[in-house]
Structure 1
Amino acid sequence: MLSEKSAESIRATLPTVSSAIGKITTLFYDKLFAAHPELLRDLFNRGNQANGAQKQALAGAIAAFASALIKHPDVRPDAMLSRIAHKHASLGITRDQYQVVHTHLFAAIAEVLGSAVTDEVAAAWDEVYWLMAGSLISIETRLYAEASAPNGDTWSDHRVVGRYAETRDIATFLVHSADGSPVPPSRPGQYVSVQVQLPDGARQIRQYSLSNTQDDALQFTVKRVTGTRNGEVSNHLHEYIHEGDIVRVSAPFGDVTLEESDAPVLLASAGIGCTPMISMLSHLASTDSPRQVIAVHADYTQSAHAFRVDLEQLVSKLRHADAHVWYEAPEDPWPTDRTGLVDLTGVPIPQETIAYLCGPVPFLRAVRTQLLRVGLLAANIHYEVFGPDLWLGQE
């Protein structure tokens, strides 16, 4: 709950802080990494720092959280922070690191806003920060307890027991715990973090969706990213990790998971966004689900479409399922009405459908708009986006 006095200060200063939040987050990260270079080397995604995506996501989260507190001062908006908490848990973020962030974030706020940061204003934003941090710590504590890792260390060594090429640039890795311990439970739609040591000594971490849920192994799928620093981990995995090698993997996390329900379900993906969707579809098929299932996928070409055969086979196993696929530049003869971008106009979608979306933000926006237009409730449309969530607070 945000105090009435602080709410007045936040309401008055939110426009000023929002307009300067980009400068604040840039300066914050400069200060943080100057004081703690090991965080950039071994924890933060160097690619997202270089392209500004992480700074933009942090700015959006702070602004969205503060706005939510102003609109509903008696409610702590835990729901909007669940996605961040799951990502933090997959990295092993701990309670003490929030104080480190506070120190450098508030130093950046004071430097950028100068005299506008009175004692009253500083106290109000301090209250906002600790409400946000407290919410995240609470969720992360619960996630660590569920993963039987109360200290936040969910990492363990895993041996690669299988590697399979899905396309020229996409590979699936099957891993078992190196010490023979049981595989941690996962839910369709979740992801794991994978840490590798790069040639410069950095231990960089990336998240990869589980493309199937199994009792005795973890299966994650990696698309090679080229041309940017974002691809330094995916390229390392593609070039150097083979059967028999050891990789460090976290417990599964992720808040966008398949809900048990009798309602129709729509699984919509684009490109490598198919990985959590194919996991959900596999679960539905393996449990002989009677639900109506609508599978939608968009890709550039047939050869770029990972799990293309799996999609066809899994849909055929379900009693009430259909697949609808679009290609931007088909390599083989392909229906004209399924060439280009996804258009759900001709796809029958019941209004009670629960939808799961995964892909680039423009795809998510376009499909979500189409689903709202046909009558789906906004609360029944769930999305997963790879990388920093640049959509948070912008819906």
Structure 2
Amino acid sequence: MESNTSTTTAGDAPPPADERRGARGRSAKLRPADLFQRYALLLAWGIVVLVFCLLKPDTYATSANFQTIFGSQAVLLILALGLILPLTTGDFDLSIAAMLTLSSMVLAILQVRHGWPLIPAIVVVLLLGVFVGFLNGGLVVLLGIDSFIVTLGSATVIQGIVLWISGSNTVSGVSNTLIDWTITNRFLGVSLVFWYGVALTVFLAYTFTYTALGRRLLFVGRGRNVSRLSGINVGRVRWGALVASATIAALAGVFYTGSLGGADPTSGLSFLLPAFAAAFLGATAITPGRFNPIGTFIAVFFLVSGITGLQLLGAQSFVQQLFYGGALILAVALSQLVRRKDIKDDAAAAQA
């Protein structure tokens, strides 16, 4: 039985101001404050890069450094892009990092220990992602269990399975073809995995903006009861978003395996907090109040650019956790400020 109770955090990002103003006249131009709100994160990214280029011109302001920034965190970008699908519908997926780890480990085991060819092994791990997402979605939609609880539990189970099948050991020696098509081969000096992330960003941005499916995702996140009354199969949309999220996480695991040249049973878990930080911070940019792919892209590399600069200045490793955690808190706080501002704007418009 499908739950009628929507989540109170993932779906709290308010409708973008231009979407509501569209009902009052789509031809109206955006105010300077709205434009600043849209592009503030992009501006902040540029300022961060400029400051660190001035502080460390010999190390930060080099093509090699920027190639590393873009290439090294493309897996995080792909994972965060998958995460915004259930977040858009008002659900959480806390199992994405564990799914990435499971995908990476299964791929490595199939190749190294059982001698599987690369393509069949990749197909298996992607189907595994579909299966995990299907189970998560079924528990959430059919049994009405909160997605936070379901995916937290499945993440724990998945991590236990990873430790079991790996014996808590790393597995190395995957196909050189995978390594070549992930990090060795380059386009414009940047590893191909970055361009896979760019392609996924463009695809999801088109889907969110120009397709009926994208609109359904947004409508369900804004109001499940209203969406249901409008004829949208809310359960199917939520279920599909969780399946897509787990499948994209499995794909991220494939690329993570290629970037490491093997699989580690625990390192993939470190992606969870950065993925959430990027998703929520991205919701403050481009289309404020909405989880969106372009904003997520900007947020990922804003965070990575800042952390890289701090490390080059001699900051210790714990700064990375402080940076990601602080960014997540700041992003949620900004979302709430946007929400309050938009509620006031709507009230003023209703009185006018």
TM-score, scaled to structure 1: 0.21
Structure number having the greater helix percentage: 2
Q: Which has the higher contact order (CA 8 A, sep 6+)?
A: 2
TM-score, scaled to structure 2: 0.23
Structure number having the greater strand percentage: 1
